Amino acid sequence: MRGVGGRWHAGDMTTSPAPSPVAAARAIDLRKTYGRGDSEVRALDGVSLDVEAGRFTAIMGPSGSGKSTLMHCLAALDSPTSGQVIIGETDLSKLRDKALTALRRDQIGFVFQAFNLVPTLTARENILLPLSLAGRRPDAEWFDTVVDTVGLRDRLGHRPSEMSGGQQQRVACARALASRPSIVFADEPTGNLDSTSGAEVLNFLRRSVSEFGQTIAMVTHDAVAASYCDRVVFLADGRIVDELRAPDRETILARMSALQAAAIASASPAPGSAV
């Protein structure tokens, strides 16, 4: 089993004797509803999930299955209607905005579909932004490792407008890793990229899990992307309906087709927000 107890970075949590596999993030009976009464929509309907540390987990599901809502709740961007989210050993429901902000800054990395780089900053500055917001000094060695892994050494002085989409997304990946977060959340990271650039990004994410023991949770509806993962969790109608370990592309495609067919057949109003 790869990456058991693979908390490779310094921190208070490394000392805690954790059973394997350790959960980097846990969702316990998460529920998220929008609206009231007849128009009530259940985006999440009792989801419990352990995102295992040192693993690359994909969250899949048809549009409206609640996968994005689940990720937003796990990533402390959104708060569930009920249930608990625990990052490391911190229960998010007990935190207010300031503490949540600090938690996102220090323990969570983000990769978005739309890259979301700050256009006024260079690639280097974008990568170091979370650290500089936290007022932390970057670890030069780690920075070099990350930059070399994403292959951006010669692009560090460029601004986002001077880079291709693939390069921008690799900068975003490097930014997510630079602060050595407990967990990185990636939301359709290849959604805006061509297949070659997408493969580069996925390879990089895969390597950061395999080589550095990074925990990554990725939302995607792309079977190819999901095939890079250690584990795929399937969501439908706000519930976890299936799970695959070390999947291949065909198996994933088959499961997805089945889910989509079921979703169309049930013809229930699509819950949740489809981002």
Q: How far is CA 28 from CA 51, 71, 119, 185, 250, in A?
A: 11, 13, 38, 18, 30
Torsion of CA 143, 149, 153, 155, to 10 degrees: -110
Burial of 9 (0-12, 13-18, 19+ CB in 10 A): middle
What's the CA gap between 159 and 157, in Å, rounded? 7
Q: Is 161 in the site for other proteins (CB under 8 A)?
A: yes
Q: Is 196 in the site for other proteins (CB under 8 A)?
A: no
One of 67, 175, 221, 231 touching other proteins (CB under 8 A): 175
User: Site mask, other proteins, residues 80-109, x = CB under 8 A?
Assistant: -----------------xx--xx-xxx--x
- Token match 């997304």: residue? 169
Of 118-126, 143-151, 194-202, 212-220, the window that binds other proteins (rule: CB under 8 A) is 118-126
Of 82-90, 116-124, 144-152, 252-260, the window that binds other proteins (rule: CB under 8 A) is 116-124
Q: How far is the CB of 81 from other proteins (least distance, A)?
A: 14
What's the CA gap between 262 and 128, in Å, rounded? 44
Tokens of 208: 């950061």
Q: How far is the CB of 101 from other proteins (least distance, A)?
A: 5
Q: Is 78 in the site for other proteins (CB under 8 A)?
A: yes
Q: Is 119 in the site for other proteins (CB under 8 A)?
A: yes
Asked if the bond preceding 17 is cis, omega within 30° of 0, the reply is no
Q: Is 162 in the site for other proteins (CB under 8 A)?
A: no
What's the CA gap between 247 and 24, in Å, rounded? 21
Interaction residues for other proteins, span 38-77 (CB under 8 A): 72, 75, 77
One of 2, 11, 48, 118 touching other proteins (CB under 8 A): 118
Q: How far is the CB of 120 from other proteins (least distance, A)?
A: 4
Residue 149: helix, strand or coil by DSSP? helix
Query: Could you list the residues that contact other proteins (CB under 8 A)?
Result: 72, 75, 77-78, 97-98, 101-102, 104-106, 109-110, 112, 114, 116-121, 129-130, 132-135, 161, 175, 275
